[in-house]
Amino acid sequence: MILFLIISLFLFFLWTLWNMSGLPSLPASNLNKNLQPLVSVLVPLRNEAQNVAGLINSLKSLSYPNVEFLLLDDGSSDQTLCLLQENTSGDSRFKILRGRELPAGWAGKVHACHQLQEKAKGEYFLFIDADVRLKSGVIGKALTLLKKENVKLITGFPSFEVPGIMSKLLIPMMHFVVLFHLPLHLANRSKMSAATAANGVFMFFERNAYQEIGGHRTVRTSIVEDVHLARQMKLSGYKVCLANISTDVSCRMYERNSEVWEGFIKNIFTGLGRSVPLVLLLSVFYGFFYVLPGILMVYGLWMFQPLFVLPYILVVLQRMAVDWKASQRLSLSFFMPISAAILIIIMNASMWRWIRKKPYSWKGRQYS
C-alpha cells in the first residue's frame, strides 16, 4: 500500500505541474490608447459596510481611463448605502443604485447583478464582489487576454486573504481542487461545458455575448451562478478562459470561522452537481491520498521509518506548487492533511443538509 501511495502521489504531483501550464496569467496591456472601449464595473453589495471604503479606494486606483462603476445596495440593514454615497461623492464615474425587492424564484446576488447590467453602458462587463481588491492595471490586462485568446469571458480565482484558522485551512483548497482536478488545457481550449470552472469574484464578459445567453436571468435560481454562467457561455458556443488572476486580484472572503463554514456549506454540494456518489467518491479519495499521509508521517517519525514520511512530503510538494501559482502562503501547505479532512467533513455536511431538505442561509436569506 505504501508504494502505491507514493507512486500515485508522485504522478499527481507531475500532473499538477503540467496541468497548471494551461492556466494563462494576465499579460501586460497592449491596448491602443485610442481604442479603449467603455468597461462597466458592476458590484452588488448587501451588508458590506466594512468593505465599502476599501472597495472604493481600489476602484479609484484603476488606471484604465474609460470606465464606469455601478454599485448596487441590495437591501442592506447596515450603513452600506450611506457609506457608498459618502465615499463616491464628487466622482462622476460612480453610480449608486438601490436594489428592488427580491422577486420569488431569484437568488439574491443573481438578482442584484441582473439589475446592475440593466443600467450598464459598457461594451464589457466586469462583475466583482465587495470584498475584492484590484491592482491598477487589471482591466487593461483582462482586455488584452480576452482579445488574445479570442474568448468572451475571463474569470479566475484571486489571491485569498485568510485571517482566521478556518480560512487558512479551507479557502486555499479552492485553488487546489481546481488546479488538480480540472483539465485546464481542455477547459480553456474547448467549449465542453463539463470542463468549466469560474469564480464570481471576477467575471469579465463581452457585453454582446453576455446578453445573447440571457445574462443572469438564465441562472436566476442558482447559488453558484458563476459556474452556471460560464457553462451557459460554452453551451452557447463561446469560449471561456480561466486565468491566473492572483497577482492582480485579491479577496478577503470571510472574517469569522462561522462565515467560512456557512459559505462552504452553501456552495460546495451544489458546486458538485448535488451528486451524492461524487461526494462519497471524493471523500474516499481525499481521505486515502491526502489525510492518510499525515497519519503515516506521524507514525514514520515515531517509529523511525522514513518511507512512511515520503507520502506526506509529496502531498506538501503538490500543495506547495499550487499555493505558489496562486500567490498563497507556502507555509499553509504543511497543513494539507488537516485541510483535506475539513474538506471531507464540510462536503458531507453540505450534502447531509440537502438530504434533510434544510435550507442554506446566507446574509439573512435562505436558499433550498
The CATH number of domain 24-254, selected from 3.90.550.10, 3.40.630.30, 2.40.40.20, 2.60.120.380: 3.90.550.10
| pLDDT tens, position by position, 68-83 | 999 999 999 999 999 9
pLDDT value of residue 364: 62
What single letter denotes the amino acid at residue 122?
G
Confidence at 367, pLDDT banded by 50, 70, 90: low
**Is 84:164 a contact under the CB 8 Å cutoff?**
no
| pLDDT tens, position by position, 353-364 | 888 888 766 666
Q: Rounded CA gap, 156 and 127, in Å?
A: 12
| pLDDT tens, position by position, 220-251 | 999 889 999 999 999 999 999 999 999 999 99
**Is 286:343 a contact under the CB 8 Å cutoff?**
yes
**Is 46:363 a contact under the CB 8 Å cutoff?**
yes
Q: What is the pTM assigned to this prediction?
A: 0.92
Per-residue pLDDT at 119 exceeds 80: yes
pLDDT value of residue 368: 61
At residue 124, the 3 state secondary structure works out as: strand
Per-residue pLDDT at 33 exceeds 80: no
- In the chain, the percentage of residues whose pLDDT exceeds 90 is 82
pLDDT value of residue 38: 97
E strands of the chain, at which residues?
39-45, 67-73, 94-98, 124-128, 132-134, 153-157, 159-160, 202-206, 240-244, 249-251, 360-362, 365-367
Confidence at 95, pLDDT banded by 50, 70, 90: very high
Which positions ≥6 away from 195 have C-beta within 8 Å? 182, 183, 186, 187
Tell me the C-alpha to C-alpha distance, in Å, between residue 270 and each of 112, 288, 306: 20, 24, 41
Residue-range domain boundaries for the chain: 1-20+261-367, 24-254
